[in-house]
Amino acid sequence: MSLIVYFDGQYWVGIIEFQDEERLQVYRHVFGSEPKDAEIWSFIHKLLPKVLSHSQQKGIKIETSNTIKRINPKRRQRQIAKEVKQKGTSTKSQLAMQAALDETKQRRRQSRSAQKRARAQRTYELRVAKAKEKRRGK
C-alpha cells in the first residue's frame, strides 16, 4: 500500500494504491489545503480503513510472479528514495482509477434511468386516472 500526496494545481490530493494478491485498487482523496503531517496520519488511521472496507471497487487484475526475489537493502533504499521523488501516479493506478470512475458512472446512469422510468410510470398513471374521472362525469 502506498499513499502519494501531490498538488494538482487547485487542491492537495492523496492517491492510495492498494495491492492485494492479484488486484490493484486505487482511491483518490482530496485534502483541500496543504495537509499537515498530523492530518495525513489522522487520515491514515481513521478514514483510510473505512474507505477500504466500504469500497465496492473491484480493481484491475495485475500479473505477479510467484518467485519472491530478495533485494539488497541498499538497492531497496535507493528505490524507495526514487519513488518518493517521483511525482504523480503510476499507469496502473491511473487505469484502476479510470475503471472505478467508469463503474460508478455506470451505476449512476442505471439509477438515473430507473428513476426516469418510475417518474414516467407515475405521470402515465395520473393521466389515466384523470381520464377515467372525466369519463365518469365528476
Lowest mean pLDDT among 18-22, 74-78, 86-90: 86-90
The DSSP 8-state label assigned to residue 108 in this structure reads H
- Give the integer Cα–Cα distance in Å for 61 and 74: 30
Q: What's the number of domains the chain is made of?
A: 1
pLDDT range class, residue 118, cuts 50, 70, 90 = very high
For residue 7, list its beta bridge partners.
12
Q: Can you give the pLDDT at residue 106?
A: 94
Whole-number average pLDDT of the chain? 83
Would 55 be classed as within a structural domain? Answer: yes
Would 130 be classed as within a structural domain? Answer: no
Would 78 be classed as within a structural domain? Answer: yes
| 59 contacts 99 by C-beta, under 8 angstroms | yes
Tell me which residue of 66, 67, 55, 69 sits closest to 24, measured CA to CA.
Answer: 55
Amino acid at 82: K
Would 138 be classed as within a structural domain? Answer: no
Would 125 be classed as within a structural domain? Answer: no
Write the CA distances from 39 to 42, 46, 66, 99, integer angstroms. 5, 10, 37, 28
Would 28 be classed as within a structural domain? Answer: yes
- Give the integer Cα–Cα distance in Å for 52 and 43: 12
| 48 contacts 61 by C-beta, under 8 angstroms | no
Q: The C-alpha cell of 53 is what?
A: 472496507
Would 69 be classed as within a structural domain? Answer: yes
Q: Can you give the pLDDT at residue 32?
A: 83
**Domain span at residue 53?**
2-113
Would 92 be classed as within a structural domain? Answer: yes
- Give the integer Cα–Cα distance in Å for 25 and 43: 18
For residue 25, list its beta bridge partners.
18
Amino acid at 98: Q
pLDDT range class, residue 75, cuts 50, 70, 90 = very high
